[in-house]
Amino acid sequence: MKTNTLSDCEFIVLGLVAEMPRHGYELEHVIESRGMREWTEIAFSSIYFVLGKLERADFVHAASSNGPKARKTYTISPEGREALISRTVQALATWKPTYSSVSVGMLNWNILPLDQAIDALAERVAAVESEIRRLETVRLPAQPQPDFVESLFDFTAGQLRAELEWIQATIAYMQTKPRRPE
């Protein structure tokens, strides 16, 4: 596994192990308590799979504990730290487009009667407003969070507000724009 080929899940798990040695259940707890599933797809069932891949790549080392509930605790290796630094710089510096279904819907706008198209965007307004409220219900109980975690919530909320503003402006524009005859 090369540093620039770390998947997002591998990148996340490696970053959490870099904070401090952790076992799988502890990683799940941190992911859940920080609300990390708000901006990434990482299932509990994939954590151990990812840890295994990172261990085979020599990015983490595992140590088993003694006792009735023997757990492997994972620690980042020097190679893992190097990979994490490289991937973090790349992720922060590189813009990557995201694709939304609304773009494809807008490309096919003319297939719908105006009222139906406007109604569909109005439904999207309600969905985005609901997501903004839901995000706050996740964010507030988890306080206080590290600054970098807060900034992720701010980023997501900012994207949602920008989308909401765009939808509302698009509805207003499309309602007043003369439409070509069918």
Q: 170 near 121, Cβ under 8 Å? A: yes
pLDDT digits (tens, 9 = 90+) for 64-123: 876 666 688 999 999 999 999 999 999 999 988 888 889 999 999 999 999 999 999 999
3-state secondary structure of 72: strand
Supply 18's token pair. Answer: 């870099």
- Please state the pTM of the whole predicted model: 0.72
pLDDT digits (tens, 9 = 90+) for 29-64: 888 877 777 677 777 778 889 999 999 999 999 888
Supply 9's token pair. Answer: 């899940």
3-state secondary structure of 143: coil
pLDDT of residue 181 exceeding 80, the answer is: no
Dist. CA 173–CA 70, nearest whole Å? 62
pLDDT digits (tens, 9 = 90+) for 110-161: 999 999 999 999 999 999 999 999 888 888 877 787 888 888 889 989 999 9
Supply 32's token pair. Answer: 């859940």
- Compute the mean pLDDT over every residue in the chain, rounded to the nearest whole number: 87
Dist. CA 109–CA 172, nearest whole Å? 15
Would you give the end-to-end CA distance of the chain in angstroms?
55
